Amino acid sequence: AQSVTQPDIHITVSEGASLELRCNYSYGATPYLFWYVQSPGQGLQLLLKYFSGDTLVQGIKGFEAEFKRSQSSFNLRKPSVHWSDAAEYFCAVGATGSSNTGKLIFGQGTTLQVKP
Amino acid sequence: DSGVTQTPKHLITATGQRVTLRCSPRSGDLSVYWYQQSLDQGLQFLIQYYNGEERAKGNILERFSAQQFPDLHSELNLSSLELGDSALYFCASSPQGNRGTEAFFGQGTRLTVV
């Protein structure tokens, strides 16, 4: 079965420091990959997605992610974190199977805390 | 604002009761998804509808049911509620219901069962 692993449950970084959130997926072929962010009391907002092509994808709010097939990873990065980036981040993979569904399989999430 | 509207935002009810959560998708979106977010299970897919028809089913309990109406809004019905059903329930919508389609999430309905 497909799965997504986010090894870090909680990460704390200082404002202005760089950020990398890890995501590993299990799936044989090229997956559809997503990063979502959830701010307190809010729904999930799509940061970026990867379907094919250039393995480095740019998203909103200055985020980027790199797809590495050899490592089954899709890590999220930001060069300089702002206090407003404090939130929970979810990596997700588009499900496969007999039905063509837009179902997403989510990782457990990483909570980002930003120190002033 | 994603354009997906969920009502109510909060719901407190007693065990054994039945509740209905409502979702209005973005204008033009044909597919609706329901997800449950809880501390122990994380974000779990429940069910997907596309243009009124069920497209995919996840780990949805038999006590739960959903439907999508001709105007494309959707309702999630939860019955015989248990304490463990307390969670944040998200609705999402997408233009099509295919694999890889971007889903837009509502702000969720927080259900507390007491």
pLDDT score of B58: 92
A69-101: pLDDT as tens digits: 999 999 999 999 999 999 999 999 987 766 678
Long-range contacts made by residues B71-75, C-beta under 8 angstroms, separation at least 24?
B72/B25, B72/B29, B72/B30, B72/B32, B73/B22, B73/B23, B73/B24, B73/B25, B74/B22, B74/B23, B74/B25, B74/B32, B74/B34, B74/B49, B75/B20, B75/B21, B75/B22, B75/B23
Q: Whole-angstrom Cα distance, residue B69 to residue A107? A: 31
Say whether A95 and B31 touch across the interface (CB within 8 A).
Answer: no
Give me the pLDDT at residue B102, please. Answer: 87
Greater pLDDT, B17 or A43 = B17
Please report the pLDDT score of residue A96 as a whole number.
Answer: 74
Give how far A61 is from chain B: nearest CA, Å.
16
Chain A CB contacts of B94 under 8 Å are 102
A residues 86..115 contacting B (CB < 8 A) = 90, 94-97, 99-109
Which of the pair, B8 or A97, is modelled with greater confidence?
B8
